[in-house]
Amino acid sequence: DIQMTQSPSSVSASVGDRVTITCRASQGIGTWLAWYQQKPGQAPKLLIYTASSLQSGVPSRFSGSGSGTDFTLTISNLQPEDFATYHCQQADSFPYSFGQGTKLEIK
Amino acid sequence: QITLKESGPTVVKPTQTLTLTCTFSGFSFSTIGVTVGWIRQPPGKALEWLAVIYWDDDKRYTPSLEGRLTITKDTSKNQVVLTVTNMDPVDTATYYCAHRQSGVRVFDIWGQGTMVTVSS
């Protein structure tokens, strides 16, 4: 199985800041990487697919990049509604494993 | 508009079999490319991909639970059923079903999830 490792596990930031979250795959996955946002008590919401494609309806302050084994999710101009947990998922080979999550907290 | 909703027991005893049903609307397994999957999340822990079923009845399971998982579909009822045998307290989790976006292999629409506790 492909292992997905996110860093940091948690991060504190303020409204208006720019934040970057990293996801590393244990082997190359091309650009088969997705990012999800999850708020407490809610299901995950798809933000980014194929590493850098923005899902319809997701604000443009969210962006993704990377290929192979290293990927980043960047959130620019943080808004109050962005404080949540973010998960990466590889979709290169079964099982389509997830990272352990990164909790974005208000500073 | 695509929606999915999970249903099933909230509590099961150790060694019992869990049966969860995902009832959806807004799409059909009669359409080529349609895929539905199950994912779970223990309290405070990471998401875990469990299984998917395709419009042509092909199936994939996570190896860590293969042998205990069965995924089936009922096209006429717009339902997907996941069974998990020999439940254990470590299987306590919120179980989600989700629609997989065709061509990009990601889950674009998720159900609200159903919390299942394994306890005697």
Digitized pLDDT (tens) for each residue of chain A, 107 residues in all: 999 999 999 999 999 999 999 999 999 999 999 999 999 999 999 999 999 999 999 999 999 999 999 999 999 999 999 999 999 999 999 999 999 999 999 98
Q: What pairs with residue A72 in β-bridges?
A: A22, A65
pLDDT > 90 in chain B, percent = 94
| Pairing state between β B48-54 and B59-61 | antiparallel
Q: Which two tokens stand for residue A69?
A: 């084994």
Please indicate whether, in this complex, the C-beta atoms of A95 and B63 are within 8 angstroms of each other. yes
Of A42, A94, A100, the CB nearest to B60: A94
Alpha-carbon span A101 to A89, nearest angstrom? 10
pLDDT of residue B103: 82
Q: Which two tokens stand for residue B85?
A: 């045998």
B-chain residue closest to A58, CA distance: B108
Alpha-carbon span A68 to B82, nearest angstrom? 33
- Taking the alpha carbons at both ends of chain A, their separation in whole angstroms is 36
User: Which among A97, A98, A89, A76 has a CA at the least distance from the CA of A33?
Assistant: A89
* CB proximity B66 to A under 8 Å: no
How does pLDDT run across B74-118, given as a tens digit for each residue? Answer: 999 999 999 999 999 999 999 999 999 888 889 999 999 999 999
